Amino acid sequence: MTRRAASAVRPAGRASMPDIHMSYGSDAPVGIFDSGVGGLSVLNEIRQLLPSESLLYLADCGHIPYGEKTPEFIIDRCLTIAGFFREQGAKALVVACNTATAAGVAHIRQRYPDWPIVGMEPAVKPAAEATRSGVVGVLATTGTLQSARFAALLDRFASDVRVITQPCPGLVELIETGDLFSPQIRQLLRRYLEPLLVACCDTIILGCTHYPFLKPLLREMLPESVTLIDTGAAVARQLQRLLSRSSLLANGVARDTVYWSSDIPDNFRKILPFLSQNPGNVRSFRL
């Protein structure tokens, strides 16, 4: 089914607070956040392209999933986390969550106009260009599919193709367990993929940063002719462009990643090895 835009939401009360202009050196870290582990798929792409960058990753696991929350709630979380990364001296911010980008990135940019900020959005343009059947499927959260930002992408880039959207409630929570081949995930994916395959989609957009972790399972379940598209690599390239433009690219040896979780840190730490991450030091975030 195709979801259309929700009405625009006024900025949260804290969005109008002034921010003191801050300056950064190239050795300052980059802040990355998501509602949970999904943004680690983006972190992997950034680490591969920019190995010298010091990365800070915040998993807002205590409030997952964003996709089923109100826009007002998501905006508040975005501004809270952005403020935290400013306090940590982050030279740039990556909003590694499609739902948070759709609801909150404009509010972050309004508060911090001097800050390089990269958001996520479903890869509608490359999917529309790649499809051979003229039918594109989108797997995403309800919040992303109902956003004005997504509706604008469809109007701009998908006027000549048929787009089948599929909200995927429950999928993010299962991915958060780290068991990416569980019977429960297989069952949900079969249900969500069925309408896309019936409609003859030959290109499927992974419209949530959690979903790239399911690529091996999706490849097992889908015909070889179906192309999967996500935007993690494109986000890494955009971050590289923004840092280069501001003369903020780091040089030298590879840096470590510092993790925060708004849930119990040990729970997040246990998941990391399943997602090809070094558990390292996971700190508690309570805001």
Catalytic residues: 97, 208
- Residue located via tokens 């192309």: 227
> Which residue type is seen at 107?
H
67 is in an annotated binding site: yes
List CB contacts of 62: < 8 A, sequence separation 6 or more: 261, 262, 263
34 is in an annotated binding site: yes
Closest CA to 53 of 18, 76, 88, 27: 27
State phi, psi for 140 to the nearest 5 degrees: -160, 175
134 is in an annotated binding site: no
178 is in an annotated binding site: no
112 is in an annotated binding site: no
209 is in an annotated binding site: yes
210 is in an annotated binding site: yes
List CB contacts of 201: < 8 A, sequence separation 6 or more: 131, 133, 135, 136, 137, 164, 226
Beta bridge partners of 258: 56
The CB-side HSE value for 248 (13 A sphere, CA atoms) comes to 20
The first and second tokens of residue 74, run together, are: 């998501």
257 is in an annotated binding site: no
Q: What is the largest CA-CA distance in the chain?
A: 53
The first and second tokens of residue 167, run together, are: 């909200």
- Residue located via tokens 């870290």: 29
The CB-side HSE value for 78 (13 A sphere, CA atoms) comes to 34
Closest CA to 149 of 206, 102, 95: 102
Radius of gyration of the chain (CA): 18
Q: Residue 27: how many CB atoms within 10 A of its CB?
A: 15
- Binding positions for substrate are 34-35, 66-67, 98-99, 209-210
Which residues are annotated as part of the binding site? 34-35, 66-67, 98-99, 209-210
